[in-house]
Amino acid sequence: MAELTNDISRTAELVVSGSRLVTPQGVRAGHVLIAAGRVLAVSDTDTAPPFAKRIDAGDAYVLPGLIDSHVHFRTPGLTHKEDWEHGGRAAVAGGVTTVLDMPNTVPPTLTEQALRQKAALVDGRTLVDYGFHLGVDPERPELLASLDPAAARSAKIFMAGHHTAPTVLREPAQLQKAFAAAAEGGVQLVLHAEDDSLFALLDGWWGEPGSYAEYEARRPRSGGIVAVAKVIELVRRHGTKAHILHLSSREEADLVCAAQNAGLPVTFEVTGHHLSFTDEDTHRLGARTRLSPAIRSRADQDRLWEAVWAGQPAAIGSDHAPHTVEEKTRGVRQSPPGLPGVQELAVAVWTGMRRRWPGEHPDRAAERLVRLLGSGPADLFGLTGKGRIEAGSDADLAFLRPDDTWMLSAADVRSKCGWSAYEGWTMAARVTRTLRAGRVVWDAEDGTFGEPDGRWLTPADKHRGL
């Protein structure tokens, strides 16, 4: 094995060295040997040839390039809010090198042809590697049974609608067909699990929210609880794999954990926003933290953090969904839900962990961050070569410098929308450098980016061996 390692090391083009490499075996000192965009080896010693380039990460944590499996980069049709150029910059500035994009664009991405057209629009324009969630057409949910795995790794169902989510599966027959077809086609479903008919019923009685003080109560937890219960029953009936997005309440978390305990293939995501803000912030900040599902109480936030501690979520996502300042400052009924978050995600979650559990060794926090933003989503969505620093993986790396406190301002925001709900937050760490495929795509020291040559990751891709 030593001879093989030496043979491999002689081909290394780049060596990243550090005292805190976050690997599947734990945090360790060492050297990551890289060639042709892949990790050759993780070694105790630097055995690369003298001509290899070297980067010293010092005492920063060297994470695998992070994965955000829930972004809205708004192409096509909504690029006044965001585009792949700006979204990619925001991502890599936050240590994210791979994203999965949502289908609620204009027009919505409901067919394999539309997915390929979207990929053509993205090609050559972004710093991140990417995949897509197909949208489920309410009129033709049976198409999931024959979905080409080369086009999409998963399909998104909206069980409730809002300003930028017009394609909603409201009827029980539609959901039955979708779950049955997804099971037949082996398709992973991802779901916005709130019950639209329940909200319509309440709106008919109360009226829509008229102020942000009542926003959470008018989009109540009951909508999510009812929808999650429906999802669990459909999974039980059809055996479909289901991943519930942006889970917001303690009851929903308990339901999914109980379903998992019963052996059902149900997983869930929490978002950085639901971990970072409460309904009190929405009272104070208004549209800045208007989300769908709504941000809920401190008790709900505490339960989501308990889930993070216990390793219950399959992933943390940003639900990066920018809108312009003009759109967000409309009246309560007209302002769309959503906020940017891909850039802030890792540092906000790190900051939350360090403040909630100040006595925890930071290595444990780094390992948790990598599982929820690396290996977890990589395994869930079949992202071969992503989410781990090990031989054969893509040479995607992010340097996270702990205890580097800084205050986020609008000037730091790389998203096209130009604002952040986290403005004024004091962060407890900073992403100082990001590499994708062995090349620097973000350097905080001089504020520069690399080449926008991110690639479309299709499930049919075969990861080449060394």
Return the closest-CA partner of residue 372 out of 65, 94, 67: 67
Which residues lie below 8 Å from residue 184, measured CB to CB, with a gap of 6+? 144, 145
Confidence of residue 463 (pLDDT cuts 50, 70, 90): very low
Instruction: Enter the DSSP assignment of 320.
Output: B
C-alpha torsion 151→187→383→267, nearest 10: 150
Percent of residues, the chain, with pLDDT higher than 90 = 90
Q: Provide the pLDDT confidence category of residue 5 given band limits of 50, 70 and 90.
A: low
- Token pair, residue 107, equals 């027009």
Given a cut of 90, is residue 408 above it in pLDDT? yes
* DSSP three-state, residue 277: coil
Q: Is the pLDDT of residue 3 over 70?
A: no
Q: What is the pLDDT of residues 160-194, one digit of tens each?
A: 987 677 799 999 999 999 999 999 999 999 999 99
pLDDT at residue 409 in the model: 98
Residue 6 confidence (pLDDT): 64
Alpha-carbon gap, residue 337 to 146, rounded angstroms: 33
Q: Output the pLDDT for position 411.
A: 97
**Among 102, 60, 61, which residue's Cα sits nearest to residue 82?**
102
Lowest mean pLDDT among 216-220, 337-341, 413-417: 216-220
Cβ neighbour number for residue 3 with a 10 Å cutoff: 7
Q: What is the pLDDT of residues 139-156, one digit of tens each?
A: 999 999 999 988 897 999
DSSP state of 394: B
The stretch 428-455 carries a mean pLDDT of: 98
pLDDT of residue 462: 42
- The whole-number average pLDDT for the span 307-312 is 98
Residue 230 corresponds to which amino acid? K
Residue with the bigger pLDDT between 209 and 254: it is 254
Instruction: Calculate the average pLDDT of the chain.
Output: 95
Q: What is the pLDDT of residue 333?
A: 86
**What average pLDDT score do residues 243-259 get?**
98
Q: Residue 466 — pLDDT band, cuts 50, 70, 90?
A: very low
pLDDT of residue 405: 97
Mean pLDDT of 256-271: 98
pLDDT, tens digit, for every residue of 32-83? Answer: 999 999 999 999 999 999 999 999 999 999 999 999 999 999 999 999 999 9
CB 317 within 8 Å of CB 271: yes
CA-CA distance, 386 to 97, in Å (whole number)?
9
Q: What is the mean pLDDT of residues 201-211?
A: 88
Residue 459: per-residue pLDDT: 57
Proportion of the chain above pLDDT 70, given as a percent: 96
pLDDT-wise least confident of 4-18, 34-48, 391-405, 409-423: 4-18
The pLDDT value recorded for residue 1 is 35
**Is residue 2 pLDDT above 70, yes or no?**
no
